Amino acid sequence: DVKVTQSSRYLVKRTGEKVFLECVQDMDHENMFWYRQDPGLGLRLIYFSYDVKMKEKGDIPEGYSVSREKKERFSLILESASTNQTSMYLCASRFASSYEQYFGPGTRLTVT
């Protein structure tokens, strides 16, 4: 079974804090993704990594950065958290040759 895990299910941070969201997959997938999910907006792609140390901006990268030092791990970084980054964050991964993305359970981040 493919497993995509995220470091926290719930997180509460203060405005201005640096926030790290971690995602780990155990299937040797090349591609990894970070999305945010907001009611009425569906999922929007923040960043994408097609392999180790490779990254590409998605549709809403502002205020975020990412790190992919190892194939199994993809980190999303909020350099200075703001209240408008309160959201559900979903990580996904897949083989480069496949259409199917496997999702983690999500991290609900609240910035106060």
Partner 1 sequence: GEDVEQSLFLSVREGDSSVINCTYTDSSSTYLYWYKQEPGAGLQLLTYIFSNMDMKQDQRLTVLLNKKDKHLSLRIADTQTGDSAIYFCAESMDSSYKLIFGSGTRLLVRP
Give me the residues that bind partner 1 (CB under 8 A), please: 4, 9, 31, 33, 40-45, 48, 50, 58, 90, 92, 94, 97-101, 103-106
Between CA 70 and CA 87 the distance in angstroms is 26
Q: How far is the CB of 112 from partner 1 (least distance, A)?
A: 22
Residue closer to partner 1 by CB (options 71, 103) is 103
Q: Work out how close the CB of 8 gets to partner 1 at its nearest, in angstroms, rounded to a whole number.
A: 13
Q: Nearest distance from residue 53's CB to partner 1, in Å?
A: 17
Identity of the residue, 16 or 92, whose beta carbon is nearer to partner 1 in the bound complex? 92
Query: Between residues 98 and 110, which has the closer beta carbon with respect to partner 1?
Result: 98
For CA atoms 92, 33, 46, 82, give the dihedral sign. positive
CB of 15 to partner 1, least distance (A): 26
CB contact set of 55 (below 8 Å; sequence gap of 6+):
47, 48, 49, 66, 68
Q: 50 vs 82, which CB is nearer to partner 1?
A: 50
Give the CA distances from residue 42 to residues 49, 87, 88, 99, in Å, rounded to whole numbers and listed in that order: 21, 11, 11, 19
